[in-house]
């Protein structure tokens, strides 16, 4: 059961091949046995999951189940879940039990989807390796000496290892797509505003977006059908009809126009990654697509622009963690100032502190116009680059990350770590949709292919990804770790 896709499991449950209780129990046993080697989970909610599975089986027996009823997934631990710790991988929230459900959790519960637990992540979703978590680093199931990517590394590792068939993550600058690439699975970042952010602990509010990580594009489509849609509690949520994301997966690609941004194939791109992407392009050409080179001329400014704006927003969002209302509180403060200083110094890790300091500096008097205002102006230029490109082509294609997964502890320089997201950050700045899918290997470590679409083009991207996955078997490859039976 653990080697099947979400789509296959849905069909099996509908056919009565096994029950949701049996499936849930099987996966919980795998988590108990295998996750100590991966550290992909922060919390495992076994009792709640088994109770939910029993209810799902009862619903199916009564003829009330739908396609997702009884399917188990995992949630990134920055998604508020009532009665369950929501830590964001931080000491600051180690004692925080959420009093409410995020909107997407409410939608999953309404569909009788079962959560097996909360997955590990870079602290407050700030990182590209899942090494900055208060609970320790996550390991890549393809190679336990490698990182799984970040910040949704726990979700990606759990899916790749066969602990869950799918999971939800969040993507602020590539935090769904880069882990998906490093772990050899499929991950989708929806258009900003397509999925509600209500109940998602904020890092950078104008970037954060929740999306699925799974084994195939078809699986991602299933989850998008559940979680997408307008939410009146989220002021950035878009009032727009939600299509059936599974409806056009089998649409032929003849006539599709693919653009290759020349800026994505320059210095810093590993030869093995470029070779895999070029081979994927040839597959698309064989499927009837045409390929042209395009330019996104302001790509060079994407990384500094992102880290100015995102750090500024993080500085504002994380100011609420002061040791007074909730979260970590220092022991025996001498006065209010000591309470603030020591609670924040003890509660936050190094990378979070670094981004708070950067953000506070760029927002300070005398620097606001020079940094923050200028970065917002460049952000608009980057968005216009994509608008112009999509006037010429239907989708853009390139590498997800400059390299395959790097070694644990090998990329500790902050600037080098930031550059891991050089190809993923631009789509977050523009607010467009993008996804990563498996397209090869560098040795035994997976390589990701990135697809980028215009605003609200998720259905088209999923179709383009699905057709590639029908023509190749990269998404069917499993690490030896995942093949271990329990």
Kindly report the average pLDDT of the chain as a whole number.
97
**Residue 484 pLDDT more than 80?**
no
Of the candidates 472, 453, 467, which has an alpha carbon nearest to the alpha carbon of residue 289?
467
Task: Tell me: pLDDT of 411 over 80.
Answer: no
Task: Tell me what pLDDT residue 279 has.
Answer: 98
Residue in 20, 43, 52, 76 annotated catalytic: 76
Q: Once rounded to an integer, what is the mean pLDDT over residues 140-144?
A: 97
pLDDT at 120: 98
- Structure confidence at residue 482 as a pLDDT band (50, 70, 90): confident
Percent of the chain with pLDDT over 70: 99
Residue 308 pLDDT grade (very low, low, confident, very high; cuts 50, 70, 90)? very high
Above 90 in pLDDT, residue 59?
yes
Within a 10 A sphere around the Cβ of 366, how many other Cβ atoms?
7
175 is catalytic: yes
Is 76 annotated in the active site? yes
Helix 217-227 with 458-471: angle, nearest 10 deg:
160
- Which of 98, 129, 155, 175 is catalytic? The answer is 175
What is the C-alpha separation between 421 and 435, in angstroms, rounded? Answer: 13
* The pLDDT of residue 369 is above 80: yes
Residue 486 pLDDT greater than 70, yes or no = no
At 379 the pLDDT is 98
Model confidence pLDDT, tens digit, residues 187-203: 999 999 999 999 999 99
Active site residue 151: yes
Residue 210 in 3-state DSSP?
strand
Q: Which fold has domain 6-254?
A: Amidase signature (AS) enzymes (3.90.1300)
pLDDT value, residue 415? 87
pLDDT at residue 483 tops 80: no
Residue 325 pLDDT level (bands cut at 50, 70, 90): confident
- Residues paired with 123 in a beta bridge: none
Q: Which of 98, 115, 128, 151 is catalytic?
A: 151
Stretch 376-380: mean pLDDT: 98
Q: 141 vs 36, 192, 309, 383, 440, CA distance in Å? A: 12, 30, 33, 36, 16
Higher pLDDT, residue 486 or 367:
367
According to the model, what pLDDT value does residue 413 have? 83
């Amino acid at each position: 059961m653990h080697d099947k896709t979400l789509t296959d499991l849905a069909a099996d449950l509908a056919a009565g091949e096994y029950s949701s209780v049996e499936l849930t129990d099987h996966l919980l046993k795998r988590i108990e046995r295998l996750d100590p080697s991966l550290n992909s989970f922060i919390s495992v909610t076994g009792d709640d999951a088994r109770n939910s599975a029993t209810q799902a089986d009862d619903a199916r027996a009564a003829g009330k189940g739908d396609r997702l009823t009884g399917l188990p997934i995992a949630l990134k631990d920055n998604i508020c879940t009532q009665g369950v710790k929501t830590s964001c991988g931080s000491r600051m929230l180690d004692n925080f039990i959420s009093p409410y459900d995020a909107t997407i959790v409410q939608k999953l519960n309404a569909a009788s989807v079962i959560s097996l637990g909360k997955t590990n992540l870079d602290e407050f979703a700030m990182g590209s390796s899942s090494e900055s978590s208060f609970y320790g680093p996550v390991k890549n199931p393809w190679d336990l000496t490698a990182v799984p990517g970040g910040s949704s590394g726990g979700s990606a590792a759990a899916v790749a290892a066969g602990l869950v068939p799918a999971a939800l993550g969040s993507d602020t600058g590539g935090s769904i797509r880069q882990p998906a690439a490093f772990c050899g699975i499929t991950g989708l970042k929806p258009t900003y505003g397509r999925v509600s952010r209500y109940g998602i602990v904020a890092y950078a509010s104008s970037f954060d977006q929740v999306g699925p990580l799974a084994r195939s594009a078809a699986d991602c489509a299933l989850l998008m059908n559940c979680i997408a849609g307008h939410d009146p509690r989220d002021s950035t949520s878009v009032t727009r009809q939600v299509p059936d994301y599974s409806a056009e997966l089998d649409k032929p690609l003849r006539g599709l126009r693919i653009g290759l941004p020349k800026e994505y194939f320059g210095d810093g791109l590993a030869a093995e990654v470029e070779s895999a992407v070029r081979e994927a392009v040839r597959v698309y050409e064989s499927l009837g697509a045409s390929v042209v080179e395009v330019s996104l001329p302001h790509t060079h400014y994407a990384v500094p622009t992102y880290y100015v704006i995102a750090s500024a927003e993080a500085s504002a969002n994380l100011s609420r963690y002061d040791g007074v209302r909730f979260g970590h509180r220092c022991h025996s403060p001498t006065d209010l100032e000591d309470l603030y200083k020591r609670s924040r110094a003890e509660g936050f890790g190094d990378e979070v502190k670094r981004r708070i300091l950067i953000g506070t500096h760029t927002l300070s008097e005398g620097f606001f116009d020079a940094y923050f205002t200028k970065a917002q102006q460049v952000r608009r230029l980057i968005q216009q680059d994509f608008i112009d490109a999509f006037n010429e082509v239907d989708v853009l294609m390139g590498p997800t990350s400059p390299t395959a997964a790097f070694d644990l502890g090998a990329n500790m320089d902050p600037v080098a770590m930031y550059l891991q997201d050089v190809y993923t950050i631009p789509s977050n700045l523009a607010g467009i949709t993008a996804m990563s899918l498996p397209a090869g290997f560098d040795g035994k470590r997976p390589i990701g292919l990135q697809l980028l679409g215009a605003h609200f083009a998720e259905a088209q991207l999923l179709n383009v990804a699905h057709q590639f996955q029908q023509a190749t078997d990269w998404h069917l490859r499993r690490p030896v770790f995942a093949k271990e039976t329990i």
